[in-house]
Amino acid sequence: MNNLKEVASDMNAPYFDVRTNDTGAMNVPQINQMVATTAPQASAPSIGSSAMLGELKISCWTGRKKDKSASASVTSQNYADNGTASVNKKLLGNCDELTAIQKFVASARNIHYSMTMPWSDLGMRLLPTAQYFKYHQQMTELQNEFENMVDTFCNNYTWEVSRAQARIGSLFRADDYPTEASIRDKFAFSISYIPLPEAGDFRVDVGNEQRDVLESHYNEYYRKQLDSAMGDVWQRTYKALSNMSDRLDYGGDDKKKVFRDSLVDNVLDMVELLNVCNVAGDSQMSEMARKLDDALRGVTPDGLRNNESFRAETKQAVDDAIKSLPSLGM
């Protein structure tokens, strides 16, 4: 898995050709103000063997449609100006199967975001090579579950439409609904993997001098995107640590704050994330993962709840870790 070109070949993924417009027109995602970007470097570290780009595309029928006639009626009945009211119909009313699919889609996207890092405005995200097998297995399982849920919904679609006549009453319009033959096309779930382009991959016939300019622009874009990806990991780390510090910040029994067992697991997950997502080999990120692993070894939720001194020691270790995070405006 060290050669991403082999990975792409195995997955039938296309090579990413960097065009001139891509480097000049893309806006770099803003990193949270807590994380300041570092000063520009001459060149960004190559991470082509330690990461790839992953893209998740999901489409799902909303089951909603604006009713212009009903909107005009509401406006008129309330003596309001035209355009001040809008009736957006739920075509199937409260359809449990469609609602379940829509919630599933939101959950799948959240999992995708949690296992990847931001990269471009085009929807592609940075996927560490070390995370690929876990990510691919989970996404494949989600895709299969999605397909099964959609198949069940589509098999019952005609019946749901007939029920909708009673559910939405006079708002029902038969031509609002996709046909039985076309409803399946309203749903899709796909995963794509693309090798991470390097500056040297420019394949444009513009002359050596202009090619150097293009490569310089792309190096800058590449570095900024990498900064953004690493900044995202630091932000997640800060969020998990600050939440743990806040939950452990109490004195006597009368001031105890309630926390779930997942409080510890969330920070331990961050240790794994720091290791997996350290695609640039950042020594500070490696050191943070080591410190957190040492500080939380043997820490249990019950131990934090029942032992005041142990809780105070753990909170201090977490606070020290927060102070050592890079470029935080604390």
DSSP, residue by residue, 103-159? HHHHHHHHHHHHHSEE--TTS-EEEEGGGHHHHHHHHHHHHHHHHHHHHHHHHTHHH
CA-based radius of gyration for the chain? 26
Residue-level pLDDT at 218: 78
Residue-level pLDDT at 255: 64
Residue-level pLDDT at 205: 58
Which element (helix H / strand E) includes 191?
strand 188-195
Residue 131: inside a domain: yes
Residue 158: inside a domain: yes
Residue 204: inside a domain: no
Domain end, chosen from 133, 167, 195, is at 195
CA 5 to chain centre: 25
Upper half-sphere CA count for residue 321 (Cβ side, 13 Å): 31
Dist CA 54 CA 196 (whole Å): 10
Q: Which domain holds residue 244?
A: 231-323
Residue 257: inside a domain: yes
Dist CA 181 CA 173 (whole Å): 18
Residue 59: inside a domain: yes
Residue 219: inside a domain: no
- Would you say 222 and 26 are in contact if contact means Cβ atoms under 8 Å apart? no
Shared-domain flag, residues 185 and 54: yes
Shared-domain flag, residues 244 and 127: no
Residue 218: inside a domain: no
Shared-domain flag, residues 237 and 167: no
Backbone angles phi, psi at 189, to 5 degrees: -145, 115
Shared-domain flag, residues 100 and 174: yes
Shared-domain flag, residues 136 and 260: no
Shared-domain flag, residues 83 and 147: yes
Shared-domain flag, residues 186 and 62: yes
Shared-domain flag, residues 137 and 58: yes
Shared-domain flag, residues 74 and 148: yes
Q: List Cα–Cα distances, 287 to 141, 267, 293, in angstroms.
A: 34, 15, 10
How many structural domains are present in the chain? 2
Domain end, chosen from 133, 168, 195, is at 195
Shared-domain flag, residues 239 and 182: no
Shared-domain flag, residues 177 and 274: no
- Would you say 282 and 322 are in contact if contact means Cβ atoms under 8 Å apart? no
Other CB atoms within 10 A of residue 237 CB: 24
Residue-level pLDDT at 145: 98
Report, as ranges of residue numbers, the positions in the chain whose pLDDT lies below 70. Answer: 1-45, 198-207, 211, 251-256, 327-330
Dist CA 9 CA 16 (whole Å): 13
Domain end, chosen from 148, 168, 195, is at 195
> Tokens standing for 220?
């800058």
Residue 27: inside a domain: no
Shared-domain flag, residues 235 and 162: no
Residue-level pLDDT at 44: 55
**Inter-helix orientation angle 132-155/157-168, to 10°:** 70
pTM over 0.95: no
The three-class DSSP label of residue 257 is coil
Over residues 63-94, the pLDDT tens digits come to 999 989 888 888 889 988 888 889 899 999 99
Other CB atoms within 10 A of residue 133 CB: 10
Residue-level pLDDT at 23: 34
Residue-level pLDDT at 37: 39
